[in-house]
Structure 1
Amino acid sequence: MTVANDRKAIVIVGAGPAGIRAAELLVAAGIRPVVIDEGMRAGGQIYRRPPEGFTRSAQQLYGSEAGKALALHSLFDRMVARGEVEYHPQSSAMALAANVLQVLTSAGRREVAYNRLILATGATDRLVPLPGWQAPGVYSLGAAQIALKAQGVALGRRIVLAGSGPLLTLVAIQLVKAGANVAAVLDTSSVRNQILALPDMMARPVLVLRGLAMRLKLGLIYHAGVTLTDIVSDESGPTAVRWRDADGRDRHTECDMVGIGWHLRAETQLAGLAQCSFDYDPGWAQWLPQADRMGRSADGVYLAGDGLRILGADGAEVAGRLAASACLADMGLPYPNPARDLRRLARYERFARAIARAFPWPAGMVRSVPDETMVCRCEGISAGDLRGSVDYTGGEANRVKSVVRVGMGRCQGRFCQLAGAELIAERAGIPVREVGSLREQAPVRPLPIGAWINES
């Protein structure tokens, strides 16, 4: 079944802050956009909504961001109720070609035709392989946050969180507020890194003060500048995390759940299929799609939010408005003056790049993992497998993938690609940029074969 055949049909993928603000501006211009969203209700990951009847308040779920979250939820719900937006929740965009988006919905496959496409696909966790991280009971920080927001569940009785970036502190505080027992928060970034980045982080002083207040609330369970050794497990899952503190002392923290994450990585698979150009950004240590300041990328394709740059919820709202403005301008329709939003975007980017310096991707830690460390959990590919393959494939990501299958599993390289590139670069003796990125493949997520069989 094909929907959205209007010659000016605009499809938005994602109903987080970027997608909602893009839809708002298009509706104000008299356009009824189609919104494809994987969530049960709009809000995205940052403002994820729990099921109906959930008893925890917005203040408990979103903290200081409760007002923003409720405002966005209410705005989008009003647009849907008035019929101003064609909304498809619990739907995943799987592939696109010839201005048709292939979407998997709860009712089966749909083809959504579009004239212009706004991708507001957000971000996922950026992970580092650790010895023992493949054990059951080791989750990403995002998974721990989803369980807490969507179901009110802490995924362990004694929890260790490890990694770096604002999400590490945020998830720790959210779990502590919910009554969970967080035994340790282990940050691989040093205090020195964080202090050196502070001047540029003051582009958003309120967020800096809010982050410092959270850090103070964590007290003695927070440790900066640590080196993670391994995760110890038995048949039931994790039993401890072994690590070294900033003074080089060996430490051992018992636990039954581990959450890990090193800031975020942009969700870019659909942008790749849409023929957007990419470049390696050493500041964010990942391949990012190229776009102008308004979000224009490929022909008729506009990018917004963390799927373009990791700027957080406020930056995503601004980017969503800019992408919709660019869309209207290219259609020859009136659009708001973008000057104010462009100034705000520049300030948010300055802050975000400072955050990336304060909590850097631990390339050295990745490159030094033992050979037996699992890198690709989906396919069971170890660091030794990757290193050994470089000797006869060379230092190119897709050649290595074709030989050892790294990135061919369920996550499609989302969790292993960045770490794998570091290992390839180290073995080949080349900059990580020269390793390249894995080519995007459709479908961008696993799907049931039956849903893709043509009805005819």
Structure 2
Amino acid sequence: MATARVVIVGAGPAGIRCAETLVKAGLKPILIDENRRDGGQIYRRQPEGFTRDYRALYGTEAAKARDLHESFERLRQHIDYRPDTLVWNLVPRQLCCVSQGQHTTVDYDALILCTGATDRLMPIEGWQLAGTYSLGGAQIALKSQAVSIGHRVVFMGSGPLLYLVASQYVKAGANVAAVLDTSPLSKRIVALPKMLARPGVLLTGMKLLAQLYQAKIPLHLGIKPKQVLGDAASGVSGVRVRSAKGETLEINCDAVALGYHLRPETQLADLAGCRMRFDEASGQWWLALDEEGRTSVSGVYAAGDGAKIRGADAAEHAGRLVAMALLEDQQKPVDAGLRAEQRRALAVMDQFRLGLAQAFPWPAEQAGALPDSAIVCRCEMISAGELRRTVSEKGACEVNRAKAFSRVGMGRCQGRYCSQAGAEVIAAAAGVSVQQVGRQRGQAPVKPLPMVIIEEPS
């Protein structure tokens, strides 16, 4: 299939390196991206006309961001680039897309999903109040609009992104009231041998911590979130947590950014029929892939955080590797040395990933401790009590059955924010493992569509 029509979805680190590798092999892939500009989330470009320098915008990742953007500029004339285009559904060998209100279809012989990840969230009582954001949302506001989400911001959750976004806010001059981490210091000490697999990245993380301490930002480890304070009329007014010492802390703020690592965007792969697997380390469902990015469906590949959460550096390696897998499947020559190099790099990053999961664990136990009044699904305003009643009164111990009874995950976000936490609530109520509860199946449209869409010309 020398003239295979190759489509890549996603112009982040994985998608760009994948396209670059294919172009070097003589192919001209179609690169579809939902964003208006390349870079993905971590290296999201500022809008045209904004002039903040790379150091101010990306901090410790400035050099990597510049390199990726410059690589894309060199690549752009050699690919069929389609920005501002949402892939909302797929059928075998065809994508359904919307761009600026225009509906189109794109046929493919080979599909490479580099769809990235979104925030992984655990609800807290009051998180439906205006002024509560995800960490990714807070980061987008800063990068894309050069604004803070509030006048006085609390960052709460766990994982490297918590510290990265908080430090970016400090660097931008925003007022950060506190950084509240659910993971205790002891977890990080135990995980240190695994995280030493990437000493440079570990050092960068320590520098971010040092910047927060130097800026005199209150930092609390091992906390238990209790409530976002405020009311429906005025929004967020503060947060209440329990400290590692058992003390109740209340911190005044008008905005909260929440997040616990990331969750892969697997909806398109799910619609394609790709097999999933449960990852014990992170406690969530990921795509089942071979070492080079082949899914269980012939002609469908995946790379980057949309397949396996390992970070931006790993996404670049995975993007190159999945391109080589496709080339090999197309009977085209592949640089064996380069392929081995990518595999070795990813093996190191896998070890580091396991260390991060151990150091900053997903707080599954918080789901069982949520009061019945706490909202789990913000789109449909479904409470923890309603979910528990689907278990106790209707026997719904599987997440899709609970969804049918309660509407959890049926709203605008299509379960992106609530499905994993909802599964934890169900598992705790039913007394089973979250793996037994299962995962919410993907549905089209994977994201909201405009009410009026113009069909493509026939």
Under a length normalisation based on structure 2, what TM-score does the superposition of the two structures give?
Answer: 0.96
The CA distance in 1 between the partners of 2:224 and 2:314, in whole Å, is: 32
Contact 2:243 2:249 in 1 (8 A): yes
Which of 130, 135, 142 pairs up with 2:136? 142
The CA distance in 2 between the partners of 1:428 and 1:344, in whole Å, is: 41
Paired residue for 1:385?
Answer: 386
Contact 1:11 1:114 in 2 (8 A): yes
Paired residue for 1:328?
Answer: 327
Q: How does 1:46-445 map to 2 (within 5 A)?
A: 46-80=42-76, 82=77, 84-106=78-100, 108-219=102-213, 220-234=217-231, 235-297=233-295, 298-337=297-336, 338-391=339-392, 392-445=394-447
CA-CA distance at 1:454 after TM superposition: 6.8
Tell me the amino acid that sits aligned with residue 137 of structure 2.
Answer: A
CA-CA distance at 1:6 after TM superposition: 9.4
The CA distance in 1 between the partners of 2:173 and 2:184, in whole Å, is: 28
The CA distance in 2 between the partners of 1:227 and 1:428, in whole Å, is: 23
The CA distance in 2 between the partners of 1:366 and 1:107, in whole Å, is: 39
Query: Which sections of structure 1, spanning at least 5 residues, go unmatched?
Result: none
CA-CA distance at 1:426 after TM superposition: 1.1
The CA distance in 2 between the partners of 1:431 and 1:75, in whole Å, is: 44
Give the share of equivalent positions with the same residue, in percent.
51
* Residues 384-436 of structure 1: per-residue CA shift (max 9 Å, x gap): 00000112133111111111111111111111111111111111111110111
The CA distance in 2 between the partners of 1:98 and 1:225, in whole Å, is: 47
Which of 13, 17, 24 pairs up with 1:17? 13
The CA distance in 2 between the partners of 1:155 and 1:119, in whole Å, is: 31
- Secondary structure at the aligned position of 2:164 is classed as helix
Q: What value does the CA root-mean-square deviation take over the aligned residues?
A: 1.4
Tell me the amino acid that sits aligned with residue 420 of structure 1.
Answer: G
Tell me the amino acid that sits aligned with residue 316 of structure 1.
Answer: A
Contact 2:101 2:450 in 1 (8 A): no
Contact 1:141 1:168 in 2 (8 A): yes
Contact 1:393 1:399 in 2 (8 A): no
The CA distance in 2 between the partners of 1:36 and 1:342, in whole Å, is: 26
Tell me the amino acid that sits aligned with residue 224 of structure 2.
Answer: T
Contact 1:16 1:45 in 2 (8 A): yes
The CA distance in 2 between the partners of 1:39 and 1:394, in whole Å, is: 38
- Would the alpha carbon gap of residues 343 and 268 (structure 1) be closer, same or farther in structure 2, given more than 3 Å must change? same
Tell me the amino acid that sits aligned with residue 441 of structure 1.
Answer: Q
- Secondary structure at the aligned position of 2:453 is classed as helix
- Secondary structure at the aligned position of 1:450 is classed as coil
The CA distance in 2 between the partners of 1:74 and 1:102, in whole Å, is: 30
Query: Which sections of structure 2, spanning at least 5 residues, go unmatched?
Result: none
Paired residue for 1:44?
Answer: 40
Contact 1:215 1:222 in 2 (8 A): no
Contact 2:104 2:456 in 1 (8 A): no
Tell me the amino acid that sits aligned with residue 398 of structure 2.
Answer: E
Contact 1:38 1:89 in 2 (8 A): yes
The CA distance in 1 between the partners of 2:125 and 2:308, in whole Å, is: 30
CA-CA distance at 1:153 after TM superposition: 0.4
Contact 2:7 2:112 in 1 (8 A): yes
CA-CA distance at 1:336 after TM superposition: 1.9
- Secondary structure at the aligned position of 1:339 is classed as helix
- Would the alpha carbon gap of residues 21 and 433 (structure 1) be closer, same or farther in structure 2, given more than 3 Å must change? same
CA-CA distance at 1:210 after TM superposition: 1.1
Matched length = 450
CA-CA distance at 1:361 after TM superposition: 0.5
CA-CA distance at 1:449 after TM superposition: 3.8
CA-CA distance at 1:70 after TM superposition: 1.1
* Residues 278-300 of structure 1: per-residue CA shift (max 9 Å, x gap): 11112111110100000000210
Contact 2:377 2:383 in 1 (8 A): yes
Tell me the amino acid that sits aligned with residue 32 of structure 1.
Answer: K
Tell me the amino acid that sits aligned with residue 178 of structure 1.
Answer: A
Tell me the amino acid that sits aligned with residue 414 of structure 2.
Answer: Q
Contact 1:265 1:310 in 2 (8 A): yes
Under a length normalisation based on structure 1, what TM-score does the superposition of the two structures give?
Answer: 0.97
CA-CA distance at 1:55 after TM superposition: 2.2
The CA distance in 1 between the partners of 2:11 and 2:320, in whole Å, is: 13
The CA distance in 1 between the partners of 2:10 and 2:32, in whole Å, is: 6
Contact 2:2 2:330 in 1 (8 A): no
- Secondary structure at the aligned position of 2:325 is classed as helix
* Residues 316-361 of structure 1: per-residue CA shift (max 9 Å, x gap): 0000001100000000011222111101100001101110111110
Which of 16, 23, 28 pairs up with 1:27? 23
- Secondary structure at the aligned position of 2:180 is classed as strand
Contact 2:92 2:272 in 1 (8 A): no
- Secondary structure at the aligned position of 2:41 is classed as coil
The CA distance in 2 between the partners of 1:453 and 1:19, in whole Å, is: 27
The CA distance in 1 between the partners of 2:398 and 2:254, in whole Å, is: 38
Tell me the amino acid that sits aligned with residue 22 of structure 2.
Answer: L
Segments of 4+ moved more than 4 angstroms:
452-456
Query: Larger deviation: 135-144 or 421-430?
Result: 421-430
CA-CA distance at 1:448 after TM superposition: 1.8
The CA distance in 1 between the partners of 2:335 and 2:60, in whole Å, is: 29
The CA distance in 2 between the partners of 1:280 and 1:410, in whole Å, is: 25
